């Protein structure tokens, strides 16, 4: 494995609210009220989608810069539909809609969207995961 990242999360006592940190930044996560939380932060699925969205817009910006194209503000809107997969797994479909301020030719748009489809988090989510859960 080439990259090691560590995230630490502390869940408040008798609550679903958690403090997530990478050692430099902090994010608050929670569950919606209808699931027993206090809705003080994004839920876990929102956080995954947010990571994917950030990766895509940054990749779009980098590709546009490489092409010498100014896009102005870049926006992403993501939605997810999840259902039963095989066994106990889930099958999810994510729709990503990207938009930016400046007009771009069809050729430039295709190059930018192609790069967005290869962003790191996109490839991470489509790749192979082995998750080991232990107690410290």
- pLDDT tens-place string over residues 65-86: 999 999 999 999 999 999 998 8
pLDDT tens figures, 3-17: 789 999 999 999 999
For residues 49 and 52, what is the distance between their CA atoms, to the nearest angstrom? 5
For residues 87 and 90, what is the distance between their CA atoms, to the nearest angstrom? 8
The first and second tokens of residue 46, run together, are: 């929102």
| pLDDT recorded at residue 1 | 57
Low-confidence ranges of the chain (pLDDT < 50): none
């Amino acid at each position: 494995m080439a990259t090691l990242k560590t995230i630490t999360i502390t869940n408040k006592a008798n609550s679903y609210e958690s403090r997530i940190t990478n050692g430099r930044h902090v994010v608050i996560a929670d569950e919606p009220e209808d699931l027993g939380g206090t809705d003080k932060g994004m839920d876990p699925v929102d956080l995954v989608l947010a990571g994917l969205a950030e990766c895509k817009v940054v990749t779009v910006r980098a590709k546009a810069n490489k092409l010498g194209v100014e896009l102005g503000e870049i926006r992403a809107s993501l939605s997810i539909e999840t259902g039963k997969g095989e066994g106990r797994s889930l099958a999810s479909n994510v729709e990503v809609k990207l938009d930016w301020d400046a007009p771009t030719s069809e050729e430039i748009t295709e190059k930018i969207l192609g790069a967005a489809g290869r962003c790191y988090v996109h490839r991470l989510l489509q790749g192979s995961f082995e998750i080991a859960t232990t107690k410290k």
